[in-house]
Amino acid sequence: MDNLEKNLIIYDERESLNEKIIEREIEQFKLIQNFIKSQMKEGEDYGKIPGSPKPSLFKPGAEKLCNLYGFTINVDILEKVENWKEGFFYYLCKCSLRSKKTGEIISEGLGSCNSKETKFARQNPYTIVNTILKMAKKRALIDATLSATRTSGIFTQDIEDMEEMLITDENVEVKEEKVDYATQNQKNYIAKLAKDKNINDEG
Tell me if 55 is assigned to some domain.
yes
Q: Note the pLDDT tens digit of each residue in 68-126.
A: 999 999 999 999 999 999 999 999 999 999 999 999 999 999 999 999 999 998 999 99
Tell me if 193 is assigned to some domain.
no
User: What integer pLDDT is reported at residue 153 of this predicted model?
Assistant: 85
Tell me if 102 is assigned to some domain.
yes
- List phi, psi (to 5°) of 27: -65, -40
Tell me if 23 is assigned to some domain.
no
Q: What is the CATH number of the domain that holds 104?
A: 3.30.390
Is this prediction's pTM over 0.75? no
Tell me if 59 is assigned to some domain.
yes
Query: Number of folded domains in the chain?
Result: 1
User: What integer pLDDT is reported at residue 168 of this predicted model?
Assistant: 31
Tell me if 149 is assigned to some domain.
yes
